[in-house]
Amino acid sequence: MGTREVIEKGKYAHHTIKEIHEQSLTLLKPFQEFNDFQNFCEFMRNASNVYITGSGTSYNCGLLGKQLLSRFAKIKTEVIMSSEFQYYSDSLEPNSVVIAISQSGETADVLHSVKKAKENGAKILSIVNVPTSSLARMSDSILTLNCGPEIGVAATKSFMGQLMIVYKIVNILSSGQMPFDDFNQRDLLMMVKKVLSSDGIIQNLVSSLDTNIKDIYILGRSIHYPIALEGSLKIKELAYIHAEGIAAGELKHGPLALIDKESVVVVLNPIDETYQDVISSSNEIKSRGAHIIGISNKKNEVYDRFVELPDVDSYLYPILEIIPLQLMSYYLALKKQVDPDYPRNLAKSVTVK
């Protein structure tokens, strides 16, 4: 290991854990003067249709954006993963905007989608970490995460930055129906720090799990579902364990058949309108003998293990609940003795189709 690497990682063993902890430093970085949120939102206001595209983690952020825009700003969007976008681009209506989300701004699938969208006359709005990237240069308006280079292949702090930008957009387009001003943001920062300080708790939790876990399911409804997907992506790529994000209401439509006493099920269940339904699903799972890890601001006897979240406004929970899942993925990788920074078979930026 070179000296530079040691310095860059500071006190941390890996870039991934450093970047997870850095989230408290980078959280508010998108809110700098150079990010013209009003201009970006004006394009959205003037559009007849709004599409969102991205790959992997960036796609998961788009899914949350869809839910928040619908709920608070009453704006209908369609989220299409970039690798599938080309199969829909023929029906892109005139006067559409396509919001492309990409940490690197170099993902081939995203660039290809944007090219197709432009050919169909769409305006391109992008959310990137690299303002000089190919995607940024193809865009009519950009917002940057400004979270610094992300070295770990798994997207962590960039996802957080993307979420913050999405929340700000929804705040503006909902005319404040979803509060997200400086005060909310500073409060949120404190809560993010609080959740990050549960690092040791998560480490213990992971060390108590069976080393040969084959499957982890993550359940969530509504705004928690995109986080369930993102958490499962993190576990797959970092720890090489099969993980699946499941919309809790879908359990009885199939996935329940997979649950047995070997299963580990994480439930994302802060108190909101989904709470009781997710408790019911948890009871169904419990009766099949699965091990349940509850992530919530309210304890429940159905959970075998509990990760406590602080109280925040319910729409903000996605920002907090991803942190224990990132930490869990990292410690699962260590438990499996695999390199969390450079997962096998994966590249940080997928520049080929």
Contact footprint for ligand M6R (CB under 6 A): 55-58, 102-104, 107, 110, 153-155, 233, 237, 349-350
Minimum Å gap between C-beta 55 and ligand M6R is: 4
Nearer to ligand M6R, 81 or 268 (CB): 81
Q: Are 228 and 220 in contact (CB under 8 A)?
A: yes
Please state the φ and ψ torsions of residue 16, each to the nearest 5 degrees.
Answer: -60, -45
Contact between residue 332 and residue 239 where contact means Cβ atoms under 8 Å apart? yes
Classify residue 234 by burial, with Cβ atoms within 10 Å: 0-12, 13-18, 19+.
buried
Which residue number, 156 or 281, has a Cβ lying nearer to ligand M6R?
A: 156
155/278 with CB nearer ligand M6R:
155
CA 163 to each of CA 59, 156, 166, 168, 237: distance values in angstroms, whole numbers, following the listed order: 11, 11, 5, 9, 20
**Closest distance between ligand M6R and the C-beta of residue 107, in Å?**
3
Instruction: Using the structure block, give the residue that is written with the tokens 């802060």.
Output: 270
Please work out, in degrees rounded to the nearest 5, the angle formed at the alpha carbon of residue 25 by the alpha carbons of 344 and 3. Answer: 55
Start-to-end Cα distance in the chain: 32
Q: Cβ–Cβ contacts within 10 Å for residue 10, how many?
A: 9
**Least separation in angstroms between CB 111 and ligand M6R:** 9
201 or 350: CB nearest ligand M6R? 350
Q: Which is nearer to ligand M6R, 159 or 315 (CB)?
A: 159
CB of 180 to ligand M6R, least distance (A): 23
CA 178/CA 188 separation, integer angstroms? 14
Eight-state DSSP code of residue 337? T
Q: Which two tokens stand for residue 35?
A: 């990010």
- For the bound state, the minimum distance from the C-beta of residue 179 to ligand M6R, rounded and expressed in Å, comes to 28
SS (H, E, C) 259-324: CCCCCEEEEECCCCCCHHHHHHHHHHHHCCCCEEEEEECCCCCCCCEEEECCCCCHHHHHHHHHHH
Q: Output the CA–CA distances (angstroms, integers) from residue 287 to 25, 280, 336, in the order listed.
A: 42, 11, 29
CB of 144 to ligand M6R, least distance (A): 13
Least separation in angstroms between residue 171's CB and ligand M6R is 23
CB 100 to ligand M6R: min, Å = 9
Tell me whether residue 133 or residue 281 sits nearer to ligand M6R (CB atom): 133
Tell me how far apart the alpha carbons of residues 260 and 291 are, in angstroms, rounded to a whole number. Answer: 9
The residue (of 107 and 146) whose beta carbon lies closer to ligand M6R is 107
Least Å distance, CB 155 to ligand M6R, is 4
Using the minimum distance from each CB to ligand M6R, give the nearer residue, 152 or 294. 152
DSSP 126: E
| Helix (H) or strand (E) run with residue 204 in it | helix 199-207
Q: Which is nearer to ligand M6R, 237 or 297 (CB)?
A: 237
Residue nearest ligand M6R (C-beta atom): 56
